[in-house]
Amino acid sequence: MKSSHKTIIRNAALSAAVTAALGATAAQAGEKKLLSDEEFAKAQQVYFDRCAGCHGTLRKGATGPSLEPERMKKFGTAALEAIIFNGTPGGMPSWGKDGIMSKEETTLMAKYIQMEPPQPPERSLGDIRKSWKVLVPPEQRPSKPEHDYDVQNLFGVVLRDAGKVAIIDGDSKKIISIVPTGYAVHILRSSSSGRYFLAIGRDGKATLIDLYMKEPGVVAEVKPCSDARSIDVSKYKGYEDKLAIVGCYWPPHIAILDGLTLEPKKLVSTRGYTVTDGTYHPEPRVASIVANHFKPEWLVSVKETGQVWSVDYSDLNNLKVIMMDAAPFLHDGGFDASGRYFQVAANMANKMVIIDSKEDKLEAIIDVSTKPHPGRTANWVDPKYGPVTGATHIGAAEYVVWGSDPEKHPEHAWKVVYTVKTKGSGSLFTKTHPNSDKVWFDHALNKDAKIQQTVCYFLKKDPKHQIHCQRLADHGRAVHFEYNKAGDEVWVSIWDKKDNPSEIVIIDDKTGKVKQRIKDKRLITPTGKWNVHNTVGDIY
Ligand code: DHE
């Protein structure tokens, strides 16, 4: 087992100095002739929407390879156009073939990536404060629910391309409100009481949604970043609903906020040096964040440098950060069943990184298959190996399972105990529930439409791990699972294009059969969804 390298820093404020040293994006001006100003502006927007997530704002590469101009010029416009249009076997979508980018847009992007990337502006605490709005102050919010729904069984569903979140009652399946959030909203997390949902948009806007309101709506919002993917709350005893954290892609920093008003409190830059060769990285983006249950800390995955940070929120004026060296490029993850071990994918290293949140140290690194993408992972008890965790993969038709109980089953801990053959690559999410006998997974990014629409499960107790699959729709992609509070039904999104009808399919978990479909014209591009009870308790 590799021991962790720990460094304690006090409020590392690298950002301003680094930006000054980088200066302006000089080379861009001379090369602009490849595109007119208007085309350049459009290309910037398309790049932000479709490419920056995997390749980085400065195009230094992460889940996708580096797209720096010197390398791109060697390909030339025609070859780049073909790659963008047709996709790659490595997992890049066929942007043209899938009808997401027009022929004209693929040409635009082929030219754009041969030019120097423009560097977006930094965001100071002052800039962020200007974006902060409290729509309903805490003292004017209801003291108890103004409706009869069970708050713990409400679901929040991301309506990606609408920039909205649907709040749906898990009992009646009624859509009780549609809440405007950030652009291309990405994920939700629940406050530790379960009363609030916190949403983060790709435009970096965080919104606080009060579920006690007759019609749940936004009570506060702030924009700590211009590009973001993660948000979480303080969950440790005594800090419930007190603080929130946003992880930014750009600028590369974390923003600590007040939990009840989203008032910005503190910024910490993530710029630094990679764990692989100590190279300085100007854009280490913040990927997954989880709230430690044992201490007043968050565990923050810093994608490009490959470190997991433990950020102690008990004293923001004397902020302590422990930096644990792991592996690049960190992406998504969640806790094991005990809530002690944070298990996060280093997806381009084909590894799962295990962090001990009690000891704040790297516990293990496990070799899995190509491009693990487990969502928050799935935990269950295997009859032979004891508590185990599983991960799906983007780059291989394999579901990998490892032992995750070093206390009672040390012989299996952090070792792959079996692998299940799936229907194909392109799997994004897995989920189970302690009350379920099944482990579910999707194939949302598979190249074959029929497989994209197919979800499968295997039984926890089946020693052969035979998979049972069903095609849930003849349109869109079946993506992401969430259980209801009782753990007896599982919800899957059918994520279609913005102008096509999408739906949410509800499966009776006992029989594995579809029991209901929520169809509503307001359900535009539903993707991730979260049940309050399961999200508060990290149940997956
Ligand atoms: Fe996600 C989680 C980043 C594309 C749906 N996604 C995450 C997390 C990160 C991330 C860092 C972990 C957050 C956490 O736990 O705090 N996602 C990115 C990207 O950079 C990427 C690859 C490209 C981009 O430009 O955004 C990307 N993600 C997607 C999608 O296209 C998905 C499928 C649909 C959508 O809504 O955009 C998608 N990502 C999700 C979901 C989760 C997620 C549903 C949370 C899973 C959970 O169970 O909590």
Q: What is the pLDDT of residue 469?
A: 98
Q: Choose which residue among 183, 186, 246, 248 to substitute to test ligand 1 binding: the one with the highest number of ligand atoms within 8 A of its C-beta.
A: 186
15 Cβ neighbours under 8 A, 6+ residues apart:
122, 251, 253, 267, 269, 271
Nearest-angstrom CA–CA distance, 420 and 397: 8
**CA dihedral for 205, 225, 127, 236, sign (positive or negative):** positive
Q: Choose which residue among 45, 57, 187 to substitute to test ligand 1 binding: the one with the highest number of ligand atoms within 8 A of its C-beta.
A: 187
Q: What is the mean pLDDT of the chain?
A: 93
- What residue has token string 């490419």? 51
Nearest-angstrom CA–CA distance, 330 and 246: 16
284 Cβ neighbours under 8 A, 6+ residues apart:
252, 270, 271, 272, 302, 303, 304, 305
Report the pLDDT averaged over residues 486-492.
98
311 falls within a domain: no
444 falls within a domain: no
Instruction: Report CA-CA distances (Å) from 154 to 141, 167, 320.
Output: 19, 7, 35
Ligand 1, atom nearest to 62 Cα? 20
Assigned token pair, 481: 């699972």
480 lines ligand 1 (CB under 6 A): yes
Indicate the number of domains in the chain: 1
428 lines ligand 1 (CB under 6 A): yes
Report the pLDDT averaged over residues 511-538.
98
Instruction: Report CA-CA distances (Å) from 365 to 91, 258, 481.
Output: 24, 34, 26
138 falls within a domain: no
272 falls within a domain: no
160 lines ligand 1 (CB under 6 A): yes
Assign residue 81 the CATH number of its domain.
1.10.760.10
Ligand 1, atom nearest to 63 Cα? 22
332 falls within a domain: no
Q: Each residue of 212-221: pLDDT tens digit?
A: 999 999 999 9
Give yes or no for residue 29 having a pLDDT over 90: no
Q: Each residue of 502-522: pLDDT tens digit?
A: 999 999 999 999 999 999 999
Q: Would you mind telling me the total number of residues written for the chain in this entry? A: 540
Cα of 230 vs centre of ligand 1, distance in Å, is: 8
Give the rounded percent of residues in the chain with a pLDDT score beyond 90: 90
pLDDT band at 31 (very low <50, low <70, confident <90, very high): low
Q: Choose which residue among 229, 445, 493, 496 to substitute to test ligand 1 binding: the one with the highest number of ligand atoms within 8 A of its C-beta.
A: 229
Ligand 1, atom nearest to 287 Cα? 11
Q: Each residue of 33-74: pLDDT tens digit?
A: 789 989 999 999 999 999 999 999 999 999 899 999 999 999
Give yes or no for residue 171 having a pLDDT over 60: yes
Q: Which residues form the domain of 78?
A: 5-112
351 lines ligand 1 (CB under 6 A): no
Q: Each residue of 391-426: pLDDT tens digit?
A: 999 999 999 999 999 999 999 999 999 999 999 999
Cα of 298 vs centre of ligand 1, distance in Å, is: 19
40 falls within a domain: yes
145 falls within a domain: no
528 lines ligand 1 (CB under 6 A): yes
538 falls within a domain: no
Cα of 357 vs centre of ligand 1, distance in Å, is: 23
Nearest to 392 by CA among 447, 446, 327, 450: 446
53 lines ligand 1 (CB under 6 A): yes
